[in-house]
Structure 1
Amino acid sequence: MPGLVLVPALTVLLPTAGISADPENIGWYGQISAAVFLLGWGFAFIWGPIADRFGRKPAMMASILMYGVFTALAGISTNLWEWNAFRFLAAIGIGGEWAMAGTLLAEVIPERVRERFGGLMHSAAYFGVLAISIVYLLFGSELGWRGMFFVGGIPAFAVFLIRRTTPEPPRWQDRSAKLVQQSFWQPVKEVLSGEYRSRTVGNLLLLVVCVIGLWAGATYVPAAMNTLCAQAGYDHDTTVRLASLSSMTVAVFTILGCFVVPRLAARAGRRGALATLFALMIVGIVGAYGLAYPLHSIGLTFAFLPVLGLGGASFAVFTIWLPEQYPTRMRATAFAFTTTFSRWVAAGGTFLIGYGIHATGSLTIPLSLTAVVFALGIGVVRLAPETRGAPLPD
């Protein structure tokens, strides 16, 4: 959702700080906001030790509640400081959702279908993006960016359903008596121990690549479309519709990619699947930002969005892969640690992207250069452990 409302929100909030809301400033402060969000996401690592100590279910409920409440509060922001503060706190919540849900799913789903459900679960996040895009398409003009943040807070009510219907994994329950006696930080120490240190660092690096691609690619698609529409002289309603359709296109193809990931991971292995998706991101980024955007072509941009969407399913590989690399006593911590601290590293990258946009006055060069990160990522993939066919470790 931030990509959809970035331009209209900053158009309102930048002048309150005495800053002109021109495309260059929106690109610069938008990237700063993205970096702040990633920093908040990095603090979400705390949900891992909480889940390993007190259970997956309460940690997941708390993270969802935190995300929903502070997302809604972002809709009442009156200045940049408030907006970034609320989004920072919302990021701490959303950062825990993926790690908690991925850990819980891996531990409760039977082994024979665990791989398949890992991809399906991750598609749920993009169904949410698609739903928000549809709401923005149909009601964006009436709701405005503030109303969209209120809609984004609706997931907070899911905690009531989770409390009634979601079981605590038996794997964790069988070890809970021992786990509650250990140090709260013991799982963190083990994740960084000699036995697991190299794979943890490798996962961090690969997730940094994914995050930079997510923010440089999918998040800036609506912003790019807003700029292209302005250059074409389109009215506000047409711009809203095209920005929504661009986000919807990426979301639909990412959902399709999530459905394909389990089969791809089974055939090509976890490493092969991730390398394939990284290659798609290179094609999508170069095509959308290096070719279509400087040509001011809305049609050509839409032609490359499906490729960006499919490549964006790379996160689904980790939903399957990360639980297979760590035992139950530290699984939630490892999942949260790698998927959240990677945001801190990526925050520096997104800040550089923002500086590049501000310095060049365009999205073209800074975003096109992120394709290099994916090329490096393909090389790092070869160093990661392959776990295809291995059962979930106890």
Structure 2
Amino acid sequence: MTPTKKWYQDVTLYQWMVVLIASVGWVFDAFEGQLFNIQRNQMLAEILHVAPDHPDVRRWGDIFLGAFLVGGSLGGIIFGWLGDRWGRKPTMVLTILFYSIFSGLTYFATSLWHVGILRFFVAMGVGGEWAVAAALVAEAVPQHARAHMSGLFHSTSIIGTWIAAWVGLAFAADWRMAFLVGIAPSLLVLWVRARVEEPERWHAAKVKAASGDTAQLGSFRDLLTNPRWARNALLGMMLAAVGLGTFWAVTVAGQDLAKDFLVRHGVGMAEATRRAKFAYGNVQAIGSGLGMLAFGPLAVRLGRRRTFVLYHVASLIFVPLTCFLPTSYGMLLALLPIYGFFTIGIHAGYAVYFPELFPNHLRSTGTGFCFNGGRLLASPMLYFSGWLKARMDLGPAISLMALLFLFGLVFIAFLPETKGQPLPE
């Protein structure tokens, strides 16, 4: 019997380097997004000349978070398109410059409109980098390693969250310096320009487009009028909307669940808040990271669609269990990693699956359309979840919003299986 080849066998040093570069870009991508969440109370209180707990701080924080979601959606679609038109390498360079330079410029912000514009442009870079990097990784690595390495690429986002937390602690008294650190990722551009090569698949697609054998690179008309690609794009967008909507409505609520539990059991608000941040940022985050890492290997064994089904069904089970079952704080801490494993682990599946749904001349465009179109569709959940939680107990509200995972099961039923198949030409 011929021994089964390990997924990492025959992966070249260059291919590992591409995954590393894409991952570092995605790490800083997540860092730039989370830094504002950590520093926004101090920053907005200073700009508004009010106390950090003033209602205007939260109101403007939510407004800017909404602007970030819109900017990320627009940037992901535009830069995804440019990734096909211009190539993966120059577009990745531009997205990194966008999110790092505009984050660094936040150091000089003195009014609300400065913050709004800068956050919008940071978001454009953040949304665009993922789409291009996901396409690049899928095209650069061998077929037998694609699911593992794409899942590994997406999983590194958890490192960006941790770095943002560390920077926030290091510059707790100076939000301007924290944002100035955000310019550091621009140095990654030098590495990208020096080492990354355009995938042969992109060059082949460029030749075919020039000869008229296929539609133009990044053609939205082809994406949305060709029945095969349009079906994948629209269903993929809806699938992403489920994961991104439940992220805001369910996943991030792990911190609120912990704080609510502690307060109900007699812990003071300040101590409950501190312990809840640890529960979410460390305990649940460990499960989230493992869930993302596990998606690739499970997708190889079970197939992409069955793995998505597993994560969605498990989320439907473990979210209400985490909301209602714990009778002690220790039990809640034991459930939160499982809660994070499935609810956030789904996101690694988008990096594995979406690039496999589109041909060479539409891969970056289609991937960006799915993920960032889904982000735009999911953005109302940010406000709806807050409205619902204000009108009913936290556990029932979160469990009710977890029913969104049912829609994911419907969408995945109509999408194709890509396990063991080459990328579409």
State the TM-score, normalizing by the size of structure 1: 0.84
Q: Which residue of 1 aligns with 2:350?
A: 318
Inter-CA distance 76–318: structure 2 relative to 1 (3 Å threshold):
same
User: 1:390 and 2:421 equivalent?
Assistant: yes
Selected match of 1:86 from 118, 122, 127: 118
Which segment is superposed worse, 270-279 or 76-85? Answer: 76-85
Contact 2:80 2:369 in 1 (8 A): yes
Question: 1:106 deviation in Å?
Answer: 1.0
- State the secondary structure of the residue aligned to 1:385: coil
1:155 — aligned with what? 185
Task: Give the structure 2 partner of residue 332 of structure 1.
Answer: 364
Match of 1:205 in 2: 238
- 1:274 corresponds to: 308
Q: Does 1:103 align with 2:138?
A: no
Secondary structure of the residue aligned to 1:389 is coil
Residues 1-394 of structure 1: pairs in structure 2 closer than 5 A: 6=37, 9-10=40-41, 13=44, 22=53, 30-44=61-75, 45-74=77-106, 76-136=108-168, 139-140=169-170, 142=172, 145-179=175-209, 187-193=219-225, 194-222=227-255, 232-233=267-268, 243-244=277-278, 246-287=280-321, 299-311=330-342, 312-357=344-389, 359-360=390-391, 364=395, 366-394=397-425
Contact residue 35 and residue 347 of structure 1 kept, 8 A: yes
**SS of residue paired to 2:421:** coil
Query: Structure 2: which amino acid aligns with 1:200?
Result: A
Displacement, 1:96?
1.1
* C-alpha separation in 1, matches of 2:92 and 2:40: 29
Letter in 1 for 2:305: R
1:65–1:156 contact (8 Å) kept in structure 2: yes
Q: Is the 8 A contact 1:48 1:100 kept in 2?
A: yes
- Which residue identity lines up with residue 214 of structure 1 in the other structure? F
Tell me the distance in 2 between the aligned counterparts of 1:204 and 1:323. 13
Change in CA separation of 1:385 and 1:62 when aligned onto 2, cut-off 3 Å: same
Change beyond 3 A, Cα 1:134–1:328? same
Q: Quote the Cα distance in structure 2 between the aligned partners of 1:199 and 1:339.
A: 12
Report deviation, 1:373: 0.7
Counterparts of 2:352 and 2:331, CA distance in 1: 34
Contact 1:68 1:153 (8 Å CA) reproduced? yes
The structure-2 alpha-carbon separation of the partners of 1:97 and 1:77, relative to structure 1 and needing over 3 Å to count, comes to same
Change (3 A) 1:118 1:12: closer
Report the alpha carbon displacement of residue 146 of structure 1 after superposing the two structures with TM: 4.4
The code of the aligned residue for 1:174 comes to: A
Shift of 1:130: 2.9
1:216 alignment partner AA:
A
Deviating more after overlay: 305-314 vs 124-133: 124-133
Deviation track 1:259-293 (CA, whole Å, cap 9, x = no partner) reads: 2112211222111111222234334543555677x
Unaligned runs of 5+ in 1: none
C-alpha separation between the residues in 2 aligned to 1:304 and 1:244?
14
Q: Which has the larger radius of gyration?
A: 2
Q: Indicate the larger mover: 346-355 or 141-150.
A: 141-150
Whether the 8 Å contact between 1:70 and 1:87 is mirrored in structure 2 is: yes
Residue identity matched to 2:285: A
User: Counterparts of 1:89 and 1:104 in 2: how far apart (Å)?
Assistant: 23
> 2: CA distance between counterparts of 1:283 and 1:29?
35
Which residue identity does 1:121 align to in structure 2? F
**Structure 2: where are the runs of 5+ without partners?**
1-30
Structure 1 pair 178/274, CA: closer, same or farther in 2 (3 Å)? same
Higher relative contact order (CA 8 A, sep 6+): 1
Aligned CA distance change for structure 1 residues 35 and 320 (closer, same or farther; 3 Å): same
Q: Which amino acid aligns with 1:61?
A: V
Deviation readout 1:221-266 (Å, 9 max, x if unpaired):
4566677788833658x95575255213333322222221122112
2:420 aligns to what SS in structure 1?
A: coil
More deviation, 300-309/344-353: 300-309
Structure-1 separation of matches of 2:38 and 2:392 = 15
Contact 1:34–1:350 under 8 Å retained in 2? no
Quick one: structure 1 residues 370 and 235, their matched pair in 2 at CA, closer, same or farther if it must change by over 3 Å?
closer
Contact 2:87–2:202 (8 Å) recurs in 1: yes
2-side partners of 1:70 and 1:367: how far apart? Answer: 35
* TM-score for the superposition, normalised by structure 2: 0.78
Q: State the alpha-carbon separation in 2 of the partners of residues 135 and 300 from structure 1.
A: 31
The answer to whether the 8 A contact 2:97-2:125 is kept is yes
CA separation in 2, counterparts of 1:375 and 1:25?
36
In structure 1, C-alpha distance between the alignment counterparts of 2:174 and 2:281, rounded to whole Å: 17
CA RMSD of aligned residues (A): 3.4
How many residues are paired up? 387
Distance 1:153 1:361 in 2: 42
Structure 1 Cα separation of the partners of residues 261 and 178 of structure 2: 22
- CA shift at 1:341, angstroms? 1.3
Contact 2:223 2:362 in 1 (8 A): yes
Deviates more, 1:366-375 or 1:338-347: 366-375
User: In structure 2, what is the Cα distance between the partners aligned to 1:27 and 1:251?
Assistant: 24
